[in-house]
Amino acid sequence: MICVNAERLEQEIKEMGQIGLSAKTGGRTRLALSDADKAARDLFCRWLRDSQLEVRVDPLGNIFGIREGTDRSAQPAVMIGSHLDTVKDAGMFDGAVGVLGGLEVLRTLNDNGIKTKRSIVVADFTNEEGARFEFDMMGSSFYSGAKTAEELYSVTDDYGATVGGELERIGYRGNDSVSAGHYIELHVEQGPVLDAERVQIGVVEGIQGLAWWRGEFIGEANHAGSTPMRLRHDALLGAAELALEVEKLAGVIGNSSVGTMGRIKPQPDVINIVPGKCSFTIDFRQYKPELLVKAKEEITRAVEAIAAKRGLACRFEKLTDVDPVFFDKVMVEIVEESAKKLGLSKRRLYSGAGHDAQFLARRCPAAMIFTPSSGGRSHCREEWTDFEDITNGCDVLLHSVMKLAIINC
């Protein structure tokens, strides 16, 4: 039975993992459209060309490596991939496994002289993480038609740099594209289920919906010693109360709801001054559409109520609003059958994290394959997945793609 080259796959994941690596922390940082992201893109494009694949780049910097099929009248391409950008101080598997695993699938087909009727494309989508530019899954949202390039070019980072300007600066603002007829994404689970249950493959049925907000409470900066507590308009206390309300709401909504306030920044951030301003973010996620709608309404009410209670002004805007996604049943079955064919243990599950696949699912039938995450750790330098597990996942990807791309006998 045909399998991927495990040694080559491990070597290239490790080589990619050197880009953005900090000798001090042991984590790597490749924020979207940064110099480190450019270096990762350059290496990926070199590997694509070395593999005799056509390289295309679209207006949002999404990179596509194309292995042409033999039948131009066949359906649009089978697309596989993920992302190469990271959060700060990350592990080396999140995203990279899907991109480099996709490249390994195409190389394995080349090595074995296997021709397919349909073209196969490996993709690296821009700014999946949203760690620098706070609109996550940016490249796939553009590719799926959910956002226009003009809407996304004006998004800024904390220092005022724009997406459009940074794409130009690093040389990845293209004008090409490619059409996808099916999409499969290989990814580490980023959760504890597979590792805890000693299951080799996760067959992903869908992805929970999420909403992101950015806000700011505006109160009154004043002397910490001479301003009585009852007369304060403390913006930080507004954010602190909101954080507790978000936590409480996740429990009340239930059904695996999760709520997070990942950024809270008081100003002027001085030990003896009552904070006059405090910016914050909220991330809320839920699988059931009706419960996500309820949560979004309750969060808006909480922000307004806290501002009124504490005499604060407030700016509040939604950054991301993504409905839950349920993957195509036939695609899910193809993944499951491929795992069974390879003799790998498997289970169905839903993804707690967002992925490019949830936007691709708007455009074409889609599915995902998960490999175990040790201890469920991800978005941190301690992230780890055994290379044997990665190879297993890549083999499932290979056999799923071969079924979709139609092997020429």
Q: Which of 188, 218, 170 is nearest to 101 (CA)?
A: 188
Q: Is the pLDDT of residue 39 over 60?
A: yes
Q: Is the pLDDT of residue 409 over 50?
A: no
**For the chain, what percent of residues have pLDDT higher than 70?**
100
Is the bond preceding residue 268 a cis peptide, omega within 30 degrees?
yes
pLDDT tier at 407, thresholds 50, 70, 90: confident
Q: Whole-angstrom Cα distance, residue 318 to residue 218?
A: 18
Token pair 């979207």: residue: 32
Closest CA to 92 of 3, 12, 203: 12
State pLDDT tens for residues 275-321: 999 999 999 999 999 999 999 999 999 999 999 999 999 999 999 89
8 A C-beta contact, residue 42 and residue 30:
no
d(CA 204, CA 55): 29
Question: Is the distance from CB of 18 to CB of 147 less than 8 angstroms?
Answer: no
How many Cβ atoms from other residues are within 10 Å of residue 344's Cβ? 16
Put residue 198 in one of left, alpha, beta given phi > 0 → left and psi -120 to 50 → alpha. left
**Closest by Cα among 29, 7, 32, 8 to 18:** 29
Rounded to 10 deg, the angle between the 6-17 and 35-50 helix axes is 150
Which residue in 231, 361, 217, 341 sits closest to 275, CA to CA?
217
Q: How many helices (H) and strands (E) does the chain have?
A: 12, 16
One-letter amino acid for residue 220 of the chain: E
Q: CATH assignment of 6-208+324-405, given 3.40.630.10, 3.30.1300.10, 3.30.70.270, 3.40.50.2000? A: 3.40.630.10
pLDDT tens-digit map of 387-401:
999 999 999 999 999
**Four-residue CA torsion sign, 194, 198, 201, 204:** negative
Which runs of E-coded beta strand occur in 31-156? 54-57, 63-67, 77-82, 120-124
- For 42-67, write each residue's pLDDT tens digit: 999 999 999 999 999 999 999 999 99
Element spanning 305, H or E: helix 289-310
Using pLDDT thresholds of 50, 70 and 90, give the confidence band for residue 335: very high
Average of per-residue pLDDT values in the chain: 97
At 361-379, the pLDDT tens digits run 999 999 999 999 999 999 9
Cα separation, 162 vs 152, in Å, equals 9
pLDDT of residue 408: 54
Q: Which residue has the tokens 């070395």?
A: 50
Q: Report the C-alpha gap between 309 and 110 in whole angstroms.
A: 65
Structure tokens at 315: 């700016």
- pLDDT one-digit tens code per residue, 218-241: 999 999 999 999 999 999 999 999
* pLDDT, tens only, 318-331: 998 988 999 999 99
Q: What share of the chain is helix, strand, coil (3-state, %, to 5)?
A: 35, 25, 40
Burial of 89 (0-12, 13-18, 19+ CB in 10 A): middle
Task: Give the position of tokens 């038609």.
Answer: 145
| Whole-number Å distance between alpha carbons of 237 and 230 | 13
* Domain locations along the chain: 6-208+324-405, 209-322
Token pair 């394959």: residue: 369
Specify whether the CB–CB gap between 185 and 366 falls below 8 A: yes
Q: Are 6-208+324-405 and 209-322 in the same CATH fold?
A: no
Is 269 exposed, middle or buried (CB count within 10 Å of its CB: 0-12, 13-18, 19+)?
exposed
| CB 87 within 8 Å of CB 42 | no
Cα–Cα distance, 335 to 397 (Å, whole number): 7
- Report the CATH fold assignment for 209-322: Alpha-Beta Plaits (3.30.70)
* Lowest mean pLDDT across 12-21, 29-38, 69-78: 69-78
**Does the pLDDT value for residue 194 go beyond 70?**
yes
Q: What is the mean pLDDT of residues 99-106?
A: 98
pTM of the full structure: 0.86
CA distance 390 to 14: 12
Q: pLDDT for 121-178, tens place per residue?
A: 999 999 999 999 988 899 999 999 999 999 999 999 999 999 999 999 999 999 999 9
Give the model confidence (pLDDT) of 345-357 as tens digits: 999 999 989 899 9
DSSP three-state, residue 409:
coil
